Amino acid sequence: MTNPLSFPDTTRTGTTDQSNSSDIVLYFYPGTRAVRPRWLLEELGVPYNLVLLNLREGDHKRKPYLAINSAAKVPALTDGEITLTESLAICMYLADRFQEKGFAPAWGTTDRAYYYKWMAYSIGTLEPAILEKMSRRKIENKGGKYIAMSQATTEFNVAAGVLEKALENSQFVLGDKFTAADVMVGSLMNWANGLHLIEAHQNILEWLHRVTARPAYLRATKD
Ligand SMILES: N[C@@H](CCC(=O)N[C@@H](CS)C(=O)NCC(=O)O)C(=O)O
């Protein structure tokens, strides 16, 4: 097992190829953005090593992990010489690293262009829109007045409306095929669903139900 920094809770996982050794190590805590790369790793069916950091006990703020991510955030992923942070970057890397598994459209295709758009949309548009809703609720619950940065962000319902339309005649974000874009956008919409933000978006609800019923998602969120 690869555990260069002797983290205590390292488990060998991945659904197939269990006999092959893996250099991939995912630093993880349940219920966080680290679910995104774990979900994709499970979809890919490649072996990986999971290091469970206890955020409540501050494992991510201690020296061994700070050497991997000095920002003290999860997820992080190492793969041989590569140390990568940022859930989006990790998912894009993994989908390309295992290109033959078909979770990212081929380079130079039209689908690839739309794939870039949805990957960026997840983090660049949906995530700030959801975080804005969360902040607003927090402030207003305390009797404060929320001042929206309306020209710098897209309002959640507008942002979700774009996805709702894209899913009108599509099983998945990019059409008939599940890709890493469903993982990224799916993870964000799961947050939104937890905040009861998508009840008026029937296409999103149906798609979310579909993608979160996948065995890979269930494995990635089992603990
Ligand atoms: N933009 C980063 C955000 C990473 C991030 O904020 N992770 C949170 C969990 S969702 C974290 O590690 N928080 C620990 C802390 O702030 O103490 C990504 O997408 O990976």
Q: What spacing in Å lies between the alpha carbon of 169 and ligand 1's midpoint?
A: 34
pLDDT value of residue 32: 98
37 ligand 1 Cβ < 6 A: no
Q: What share of the chain is helix, strand, coil (3-state, %, to 5)?
A: 50, 10, 40
b/e 175-187 (16+ beta carbons within 10 angstroms → b): eeebbbbbbbbbb
What 3-state class would DSSP assign to 193? helix
Can you point out the beta strands (E) in the chain? 10-13, 24-28, 48-52, 76-79, 82-85
CA distances from 77 to 23, 88, 89, 115 (A): 10, 12, 10, 22
Q: What spacing in Å lies between the alpha carbon of 75 and ligand 1's midpoint?
A: 7
89 ligand 1 Cβ < 6 A: no
pLDDT value of residue 152: 81
Q: What spacing in Å lies between the alpha carbon of 74 and ligand 1's midpoint?
A: 5
pLDDT by residue for the chain (223 residues), tens only, comes to: 344 445 656 666 654 444 456 899 999 999 999 999 999 999 999 999 999 999 999 999 999 999 999 999 999 999 999 999 999 999 999 999 999 999 999 999 999 999 999 999 999 999 999 999 999 999 999 999 888 877 788 999 999 999 999 999 999 999 999 999 999 999 999 999 999 999 999 999 999 999 999 999 999 999 8
Contact call for residues 95 and 103 (beta carbons, < 8 A): yes
Q: What spacing in Å lies between the alpha carbon of 168 and ligand 1's midpoint?
A: 32
Domain spans in the chain, listed from the N-terminal domain onward = 11-101, 110-220
Q: What spacing in Å lies between the alpha carbon of 54 and ligand 1's midpoint?
A: 13
Q: What spacing in Å lies between the alpha carbon of 71 and ligand 1's midpoint?
A: 9
Report which ligand 1 atom has the smallest distance to the Cα of 86. Answer: 20
If you take atom 5 of ligand 1, which residue's CA is the nearest one?
73
If you take atom 9 of ligand 1, which residue's CA is the nearest one?
32
CATH number of 110-220: 1.20.1050.10
pLDDT value of residue 192: 97
If you take atom 18 of ligand 1, which residue's CA is the nearest one?
86
Residue range 11-101 forms a domain whose CATH class is: alpha beta
22 ligand 1 Cβ < 6 A: no
